[in-house]
Amino acid sequence: MSTGNFKFENKGHNWVQNDVWTAVDGYTMGHLHPSSKPNASALQNALDASKAAGLPDISASPAQSKFMALQCRVLGVTHALEVGTLGGYSAIWLASENPQMKLTTVEFDPHHVEVARKNIEYAGLSDRIEVIQGSGLEVLNQLKEEIQEGKRPKFGFFFIDADKPNNLNYFNLAVEMALPKAMICVDNVVRGGRLIDQSLTDPRETAGRILVEGVAKDSRVESVVMQTVGEKSYDGCLWAILKSDA
Ligand SMILES: C[S@@+](CC[C@H](N)C(=O)[O-])C[C@H]1O[C@@H](n2cnc3c(N)ncnc32)[C@H](O)[C@@H]1O
């Protein structure tokens, strides 16, 4: 299916932002996840320590992270996998909201790994969050082998948030390591609407269409893209669940 005759007017603008979106996130999270929550100081520490260590400000928003953590809770996930750790912010959300769950998270950059491990230790989650340093594709292939050899259990939730051009490769590997009814979330698919700008050829921009069109052909999953606005701008994730007979 084509994107029709839509004329993309935002070409050249890489960042769409609106103060109201940020203020609404601040208001809602201020009420629904106030600083009195048990994990609030560990989450704030992860943001502060990551900034102090020079990491880029590209972690998932608090609202998106909590939403994913609640999905894990509803699904009763016992093992989750994240690709793209950064300073461990989303990892700390997922694990701290889910005491029943172990999380494996994969990060390429050794400095990010070092910062993440410290943040995870500060959060008291080192026993439930395993940070593996390495390239996402190599590590996921290794994990797949370990699952096939019976050395690891399959995963019930995936958060794919690393190098965008590999999103479909990560998605396909995730499906092969997933339990029936597992959920897969792929971040940054909408990218301010640039998803449907056919004139963009940068692999980071075409990755979203390759993902959506690839997943559309995959009969093992049911999926949807939810557009979002908030403190992290206008974007959206692809959400998929494994069919129980996949
Ligand atoms: C958007 S950040 C992850 C944010 C994190 N999930 C959060 O919300 O707190 C993306 C991370 O993926 C890492 N990354 C990029 N390419 C990678 C690759 N090929 N394999 C593993 N990690 C990679 C980057 O170094 C960066 O730390």
Distance 152 CA to ligand 1 centre (A): 23
Nearest to 220 by CA among 169, 170, 165, 182: 182
pLDDT tens per residue, range 104-158: 999 999 999 999 999 999 999 999 999 999 999 999 999 999 999 999 999 999 9
Distance 164 CA to ligand 1 centre (A): 9
Mean pLDDT of 195-212: 95
Nearest to 119 by CA among 98, 139, 90: 90
Distance 107 CA to ligand 1 centre (A): 6
Please give all residues whose beta carbon lies within 6 A of any atom in ligand 1, as ranges: 58-60, 84, 86, 89-90, 106-109, 112, 135-136, 161-163
The domain spans of the chain are 19-242
Residue 4 has pLDDT above 50, yes or no: no
Task: Compute φ and ψ for 48, nearest 5 degrees.
Answer: -65, -45
For ligand 1, atom 14: residue with the closest CA: 162
Radius of gyration in angstroms for the set of CA atoms belonging to the chain, rounded to a whole number: 18
Q: Which of 44, 64, 68, 108 to mutate to test the pocket of ligand 1 (most atoms within 8 A of CB)?
A: 108
For ligand 1, atom 25: residue with the closest CA: 109
Q: Which of 85, 138, 228 to mutate to test the pocket of ligand 1 (most atoms within 8 A of CB)?
A: 85
For ligand 1, atom 4: residue with the closest CA: 59
For ligand 1, atom 16: residue with the closest CA: 163
Q: Where does the pLDDT of residue 9 fall: very low under 50, low under 70, confident under 90, or very high at 90 and above?
A: low
* Ligand 1 atom having least distance to the Cα of 105: 6
Distance 1 CA to ligand 1 centre (A): 31
pLDDT value of residue 6:
52
19-242: what fold?
A: Rossmann fold (3.40.50)
CA angle 16, 17, 23 (to 5 degrees): 160
Residue 157 β-bridge partners: 80, 183
pLDDT tens per residue, range 22-49: 999 999 999 999 999 999 999 999 999 9
CA distances from 233 to 78, 111, 158, 164 (A): 31, 26, 23, 17
Distance 6 CA to ligand 1 centre (A): 32
* Ligand 1 atom having least distance to the Cα of 58: 1
Q: Where does the pLDDT of residue 209 fall: very low under 50, low under 70, confident under 90, or very high at 90 and above?
A: very high
Distance 88 CA to ligand 1 centre (A): 10
